[in-house]
A and B are shown apart, each in its own frame.
Chain A
Amino acid sequence: MKYVDEFRDPIKAKALIDEIHALKDKIYRIYDKPLQLMEFCGGHTHTIFRYGVEQMLPDWIELVHGPGCPVCVLPMGRVDDCVTLAERPDVIFTTFGDAMRVPGSKKSLLQAKADGADIRMVYSPLDALALARKNPDRQVIFFALGFETTMPSTALTVLQAENEGIENFSLFCNHITTVPTIKAILDSPDMQIDGFLAPGHVSMVVGEKPFKFVAQTYDKPIVISGFEPLDILQSIWMVLKQRAEKRCEVENQYVRIVPAAGNPPGLNAINKVFELREFFEWRGLGSIDHSGVKMRGTYSRFDAECKFTVPNIKIADPKSCQCGEVLKGVIRPWECKVFGSACTPETPMGALMVSTEGACAAYYNFGNLPKLLAKRQQKEQSNENKESAA
């Protein structure tokens, strides 16, 4: 298939892997540990597991799978709000497919649908607007979710609704922002990441500039990466090359999609409709300043949070969950105490087990489970031995 197969070519992959191996001795390493690279975006995590990219890399490179899966990091309280909205008899609640399964404190949207709520899966916010046009006597709410990638399409849909004078359409806005979250990870005291792959589709909207602080303030190389497996390998190679040459900058591997300045009309639409929230709650990471957006006051009539009452109750993450440590690269997913036992894709406890883009779900689904659990046991044993020796 054109424009796809070219980016999955095993011969080119082999060549890139050889290039990566060749960089080993040139890379200055201060720690006695593998070099940790974080791919921020859940789409990257998915590709890495889907194509088995991780096992192709040498063992001195470790990939840390970041929090860039908007479905995973949605806190339980917000899912409860969705369910409350969806269960109103006057409401048609519309959502992207993979948000249906995220557990709330009582039920997911999938369960609410089974209980009789009118919940419909859509492929675009425009599908939701079309439903509003078709059902003037119902209130159609679109569950707006995602990073900057999906913000322009929701913003433009609101502007379209305004133009057409459609009043029975609103957003339940849960859009989140990338930069404050990367910053929160970088500021964390136990952070161990040596370099970043920046999200390609977010960058397509926001451009290269917002990521400069990673290189300039925190001295970490960062490469904007595409989503095909060769994109990922090339981006990893570019990060390593920066380290080998003692450079720290923003580089753009995904030039076929990402213009340096991003997408100005998209950014304009975002700025027109949305403004930063003071803080937003993340499953696994807690509250992060300015990490979400809400609708501006001028658009409050399209804001489900203004139009309807939502309970807005904060539900704490389960204590046994170690999602935060996994997200910062302190432990690997299978090292978490509840991984594969209390926390599985059927009954996820933590953010990262929720969607297939979450790191834990990816390890659980695509990894060799008995082997991983044996490894965890081995590690626990050696920790115990160390403690008793001390």
Chain B
Amino acid sequence: MSIVPAKRKLRADIITLAHGSGGKAMRDLIEDVFVSGFDNEQLSQLEDQARFNLASLTAQGDRLAMTTDSYVVDPLFFPGGDIGKLAVTGTVNDLAVAGAKPLYLTCGMIIEEGFSVKNLRRIVTSMKATADAAGVAIVTGDTKVVHRGAVDKLFINTTGIGVIPLGVNITANRAQAGDIVIINGYVGDHGAAIVDARGEMELENTIETDCQTLNGLVETMLQSCPDIHCMRDATRGGIATVLNEFAESSSVGIILNETALPIRPEVRGMCEILGLDPLYLANEGKLVAVVPADHADEMLNVMQQHPVGIDSAIVGKVVSEPSGYVVLQTIFGGERIVDMLVGEQLPRIC
């Protein structure tokens, strides 16, 4: 008769340095919060690494895609999401916009001593739910606990691996004159939600983040048109930055139509008050795609049928000149260049 060790339980209310020391307290934390929270076969082996069957990977495509991102958002919880949801969606989306099918994630957590175990569990639950919905598993991880003040509450790093199907070739340098620019919905929601959630503005409305995984949408898009030329998710720096990257890499101009840009009234309102430009606000569930013109209408139609693409819109087109520049045709009937930001956007005095 084998003796099965009792499942370890974390009974503390707050995380202390002991939970990062490598001893029993750390095992309690890892097993009770992370292994049971992320709940999958790989992780429950408690090995130092996750292991993959190569044959099953190669059956799904001909290239691996890998990406990493760290999440340091403040506040940790905000309307429509939290740091955990963000840590999964962000990395899943970075894989998805290459046309890759995201499969596995890692999760590194750097926790400030004194952090609430209840909040940690809440974040892990949120990561698990988001990962399940996206069809990915969190298969290995790392935990560090640091002195008070060494990090702000909690930082998360996730690394992701996915497989790119044969024939898909999405890169920033493939935009051609005549191509069409499509976005899958309202811009700037996440950036505005974070400013709002910090509570400094005391706005009447609550703005929700757009934090959502895009791999399902991308799969549908690729079925409609495998030859998507460029695609990126417009996170920090907003859609302005992504479009500038396309224009520069492909040596083309991009004409953006301000009237066609989907922006929620509450996001616009906040930008008007603070003198911010929604084109530069962060998104966490928005992709910008450059597609051949003859596929654009069908692509738009397919995207609008998908739950995370209902508000998709054609917002611009690719031209040969001015090469390397993004030009906005303004609502007012004028034109201006949309450059990359120098630093972060700062509210204006008056």
Give the tally of cross-chain contacts (CB within 8 A).
95
The answer to whether A1 and B325 touch across the interface, beta carbons within 8 angstroms, is no
Stretch at the interface among B98-106, B125-133, B337-345: B337-345
Taking each of B269, B275, B348, which has the highest tally of chain A beta carbons within 10 Å of its own beta carbon?
B348
Tell me the nearest residue of chain A to B269, going by C-beta. A1
Give Cα A312 to B289, complex, Å.
Answer: 53
A51:B336 contact, CB within 8 angstroms:
yes
Stretch with Cβ within 8 A of A (4 or more), from B110-118, B230-238, B327-335: B327-335
State the CA gap A367–B331 with chains docked (Å). Answer: 18
Separation in Å of the B301 CB from the closest CB of chain A?
28
Chain A's closest residue to B327 (CB) is A368
- Give the docked Cα–Cα distance between A54 and B332 (Å): 12
Q: Which residues of B contact A365 (CB under 8 A)?
A: 337, 339
- Determine if A121 and B346 form an interchain contact, defined as CB atoms under 8 angstroms apart: yes
Chain B residues closer than 8 Å to A100, beta-carbon distance? 346
Known contacts A365-B337, A366-B339, A368-B325; A123/B347 CB under 8 A: yes
Q: Which residues of A contact B348 (CB under 8 A)?
A: 46, 96-98, 355-357
Determine how close the nearest CB of chain A comes to the CB of B45; give it in whole angstroms: 43
Could you tell me the distance between the alpha carbons of A33 and B159 in the complex, rounded to whole angstroms? 61
User: CB distance A366 to B333 under 8 Å?
Assistant: no
Find out whether the CB atom of B334 lies under 8 angstroms from the CB atom of A53: yes
Q: How many residues of A contact B (CB 8 A)?
A: 49
Contact of B330 among A43, A52, A201, A367 (CB under 8 A): A52
Docked Cα-Cα span, A13 to B272, in Å, equals 20
- Is B122 engaged at the interface, CB distance under 8 Å to the other chain? no
Assuming the contacts A97-B348, A357-B348, asked whether A110 and B334 have C-beta atoms less than 8 A apart, the reply is no
CB atoms of A121 and B347 under 8 A apart? yes
Q: Complex Cα distance A49/B336, Å?
A: 7
Please tell me if the beta carbons of B336 and A366 are within 8 angstroms of each other in the complex: yes
Check if A145 sits within 8 Å of B349, measured CB to CB: yes
**A97–B274 alpha-carbon span in the complex (Å):** 10
A127 at the interface (CB under 8 A from B): yes
Chain B interface, DSSP helix/strand/loop, else mixed = loop
Report yes or no: A149 in contact with B330, Cβ–Cβ below 8 A. no
Scoring A residues 80 to 95 as 1 if CB is less than 8 Å from chain B, else 0, what string do you get? 0000000000000000
Contacts A8-B331, A97-B347 hold; do A123 and B200 have CB atoms under 8 A apart?
Answer: yes
In whole Å, how far is A42's beta carbon from the nearest beta carbon of chain B?
Answer: 8
Whether, in the assembled complex, B322 has its beta carbon less than 8 Å from a beta carbon of chain A, the answer is yes
Q: Is the CB of B349 within 8 A of A98?
A: yes
Write out the residue numbers on chain A whose beta carbons fall within 8 Å of the beta carbon of B167.
none
Chain A residues with CB below 8 A from B268, complex form? 1, 4
**Nearest residue, chain B, Cβ from A145:** B349
In the complex, which of the residues B201, B274, B330, B332 has the most CB atoms of chain A within 10 Å of its own CB atom? Answer: B332
Interface assignment of A337: CB less than 8 Å from any CB of chain B: no
Nearest-CB distance from B65 to chain A (Å)?
32
User: Which of A43, A50, A101 counts the most B-chain CB atoms under 10 A from its CB?
Assistant: A50
Whether B331 and A10, one on each chain, are in contact in the complex, defined by CB atoms closer than 8 angstroms, is yes
A50 contacts B336, C-beta separation under 8 Å: yes
> With A1-B269, A98-B347 in contact, do A52 and B331 touch (Cβ < 8 Å)?
no
Q: Which residue of B lies closest to A99 (CB)?
A: B349
Residues of B within 8 A of A71 (CB): 349
Nearest chain A CB to B273 CB, angstrom units = 9
Considering the complex, which residues of chain A in the window 36-61 have a beta carbon less than 8 Å from any beta carbon of chain B? 43, 46, 49-56
A146 touches B349 (CB 8 A): yes
A345 at the A/B interface (Cβ < 8 Å)?
yes
A110 / chain B contacts, CB cutoff of 8 Å: 343
* Binary contact track A1-24/B, C-beta < 8 Å → 1, others 0: 100100010100110000000000
Binding site for A on B (CB under 8 A): 200-201, 265, 268-269, 272, 274-275, 322, 325, 328, 330-337, 339, 342-343, 346-350
4 A-B pairs besides A146-B349, A147-B350 with CB distance below 8 A are A56-B332, A70-B349, A123-B274, A368-B337
